[in-house]
């Protein structure tokens, strides 16, 4: 494997495509009322988010494996193309069901773009450079957390909500052009056997399981036939997938990713990061608005403190892990994250925008020292032909953590709120405190996973640049 690339334009393209995915995760929320007024389908609008997350999550492992077979460039271009197509179709949607279907196309594109951006950065930058570059990519999410809701609100106020999607089209074209022009990789010409059976079983089983988690207690009751059937059939298909992968010459998700201590522990860390992140970003705005009556803008700025602390710590983490190692850096980060989540839990009884912003900022600093170094440790330990799978597995674990976390935290909150508690500030505060305690417990569990990381990481040989 070799590279002959202009790294500056590539980094710009990666930041641009990452920004598209990040903004898309937040821009739609503020426009939902306007979209519902135009298209109808109020009862269906939660699927705009669920189907996107579902399509993104289940496609990541397949794209990751394919990138190790055919290269990163065709997969990231495929992702950009699908995201562009989905955006164009969403902007032209004539009904809520059509918009939901086209959001799934967007999700399939996002499933390729996000992990490929991180994988390509791991390919073309050295170990010493990766933390800084990953910090740049993380900063895109911080900027998007503010830009997304603002743009969504502006487009809604102007009555042009469809431009939420149309604005992606020229940006996708520019990012694709920069990738085509600047990124050149040389792939060894070998014959590969694509694991169609494994890919089908994995995608179907994960679709059923994640859908059951996302919609359980929402679209249907946990004890309903839909929920029980989804979990049962998804579990059976997942077992079948494992049996198929044990015999596949080139499995779509090699089982060795679960047998190596570093890869398993960092995946569990990513699982915890996903749960912590979704717990705070989902419930902090509701907590502030429900207890203090602040505006959505103020509550959004409070949670933006988290996405401010993250890239600051991520960009500085390289100096730290090069001096003291990946494991110690992650442990320091988890110490900060636990401190911040405990502050959230203890201070929930006397809510304050300042205390919440401070707490989430500390959590953000901690996660910046956890997410980026743990991922880079996993990438560093494997050669090029395994890096796509490893990166995809890490991203997939974070998605699973978010999906499972939002279901568990939502169930805990609803148990306290009951039928009529949503309008009572005291009850909202109690429900939020329960959620924040659960997030702190998730942080402690993530610390346990971090403690299982090896003390040293053996760096795999880097690819020799093509002549």
Spell out the residues 6+ positions from residue 28 whose beta carbon is closer than 8 angstroms to its own: 48, 49, 152, 164
Residue 145 pLDDT > 90 = no
pLDDT band at 261 (very low <50, low <70, confident <90, very high): very high
Say what the pLDDT of residue 465 is.
40
- φ and ψ at 74, to 5 degrees? -65, -30
Query: Greater confidence, 347 or 461?
Result: 347
Residue 144 pLDDT > 90 = no
pLDDT band at 127 (very low <50, low <70, confident <90, very high): confident
Residue 466 pLDDT > 50 = no
Spell out the residues 6+ positions from residue 274 whose beta carbon is closer than 8 angstroms to its own: 397, 398, 399, 400, 401, 402, 403, 405
Residues 132, 397: contact at Cβ < 8 Å? no
**How long, in residues, is the chain?**
467
Say what the pLDDT of residue 422 is.
61
Say what the pLDDT of residue 5 is.
54
Say what the pLDDT of residue 467 is.
35
Distance between first and last Cα of the chain: 11
Say what the pLDDT of residue 146 is.
67
Return the DSSP state at 3: E
Token pair of 5 as six digits: 């690339």
Residue 372 pLDDT > 90 = no
Say what the pLDDT of residue 464 is.
43
**pTM of structure:** 0.81
User: pLDDT by residue (tens digit) across 1-59?
Assistant: 444 456 788 888 888 888 888 777 667 766 777 787 888 766 666 677 778 877 888 88
Average pLDDT over residues 441-462: 88
Cα→Cα distances 26→61, 118, 301, 310, Å: 24, 20, 13, 17
Question: How large is the C-alpha radius of gyration of the chain?
Answer: 21
DSSP per position, 123-181: HHS-HHHHHHHHHHHHHHHHHHHHHHHHHHHHHHHTT-TTHHHHTHHHHHHHHHHHHHH
User: How much is the mean pLDDT over the chain?
Assistant: 83
Residue 377 pLDDT > 50 = yes
CA separation for the pair 266, 76 (Å, rounded): 24
Average pLDDT over residues 97-126: 87
Cα→Cα distances 437→224, 251, 269, 341, 349, Å: 29, 40, 19, 8, 12
Cα→Cα distances 99→36, 62, 93, 284, 462, Å: 11, 25, 5, 28, 43
44 burial via Cβ count (<10 Å: 0-12, 13-18, 19+): middle
Q: What percent of the chain has pLDDT over 70?
A: 90
Residue 239 pLDDT > 70 = yes
Say what the pLDDT of residue 305 is.
81
Q: What percent of the chain has pLDDT over 90?
A: 25
Say what the pLDDT of residue 243 is.
92
Residues 267, 394: contact at Cβ < 8 Å? yes
Say what the pLDDT of residue 222 is.
79
User: pLDDT by residue (tens digit) across 275-304?
Assistant: 998 888 778 877 887 888 877 667 767 777
User: pLDDT by residue (tens digit) across 203-216?
Assistant: 888 888 878 877 77
Query: Greater confidence, 76 or 254?
Result: 76
Average pLDDT over residues 435-448: 95
pLDDT band at 180 (very low <50, low <70, confident <90, very high): confident
Range scoring the smallest mean pLDDT among 139-148, 325-334, 386-395? 139-148
User: pLDDT by residue (tens digit) across 353-362?
Assistant: 899 989 999 9
Query: Greater confidence, 295 or 108?
Result: 108
Q: Could you tell me which of 362, 364, 368, 370 has the C-alpha nearest to residue 331?
A: 370
Say what the pLDDT of residue 3 is.
47
Say what the pLDDT of residue 297 is.
66
Cα→Cα distances 235→145, 205, 206, 238, 239, Å: 35, 7, 9, 5, 6
Token pair of 371 as six digits: 């997410």
């Amino acid at each position: 494997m070799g590279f002959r690339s202009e790294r500056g334009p590539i980094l710009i393209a990666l930041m641009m495509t990452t920004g598209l995915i990040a903004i898309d995760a937040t821009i739609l929320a503020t426009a939902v009322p306007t979209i519902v007024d135009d298209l109808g389908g109020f009862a269906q609008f939660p699927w705009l988010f669920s189907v996107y997350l579902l399509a993104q999550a289940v496609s990541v492992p397949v794209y990751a494996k394919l990138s190790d077979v055919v290269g990163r460039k065709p997969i990231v271009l495929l992702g950009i193309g699908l995201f562009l197509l989905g955006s164009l179709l969403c902007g032209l949607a004539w009904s809520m069901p059509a918009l939901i279907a086209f959001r799934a196309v967007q999700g399939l594109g996002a499933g390729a773009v996000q992990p490929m951006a991180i994988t390509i950065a791991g390919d073309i930058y050295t170990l010493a450079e990766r933390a800084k570059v990953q910090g740049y990519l993380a900063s895109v999410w911080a900027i998007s957390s503010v830009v997304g809701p603002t743009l969504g609100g502006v487009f809604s106020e102007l009555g042009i909500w469809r431009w939420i999607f149309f604005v992606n089209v020229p940006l996708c074209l520019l990012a694709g052009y920069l990738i085509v022009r600047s990124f050149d990789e040389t792939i060894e010409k070998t014959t590969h056997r694509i694991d169609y059976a494994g890919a089908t079983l994995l995608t179907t089983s994960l679709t059923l399981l994640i859908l059951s988690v996302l919609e359980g207690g929402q679209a249907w009751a946990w004890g309903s036939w839909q929920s029980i059937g989804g979990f049962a059939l998804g579990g059976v298909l997942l077992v079948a997938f494992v049996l198929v992968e044990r015999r596949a010459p080139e499995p779509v998700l090699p089982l060795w990713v679960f047998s190596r201590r570093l890869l398993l522990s960092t995946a569990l860390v990513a699982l915890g990061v996903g749960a912590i992140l979704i717990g705070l970003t989902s419930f902090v705005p509701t907590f502030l608005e429900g207890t203090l009556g602040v505006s959505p803008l103020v509550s959004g700025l409070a949670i933006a403190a988290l996405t401010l602390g993250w890239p600051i710590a991520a960009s500085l983490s390289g100096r730290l892990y090069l001096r003291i190692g990946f494991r110690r850096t992650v442990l320091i980060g988890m110490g900060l994250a636990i401190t911040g989540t405990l502050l959230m839990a203890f201070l929930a009884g006397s809510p304050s925008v300042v205390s919440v912003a401070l707490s989430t900022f500390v959590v953000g600093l901690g996660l910046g020292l956890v997410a980026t170094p743990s991922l880079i440790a996993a990438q560093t330990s494997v050669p090029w032909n395994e890096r796509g799978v490893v990166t995809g597995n890490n991203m997939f674990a974070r998605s699973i953590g978010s999906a499972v976390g939002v279901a568990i935290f939502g169930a805990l909150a609803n148990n306290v709120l009951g039928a009529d508690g949503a309008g009572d500030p005291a009850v909202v505060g109690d429900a939020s405190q329960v959620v924040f305690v659960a997030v702190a417990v998730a942080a402690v569990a993530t610390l346990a996973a971090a403690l299982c990381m090896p003390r040293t990481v053996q760096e795999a040989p880097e690819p020799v640049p093509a002549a």
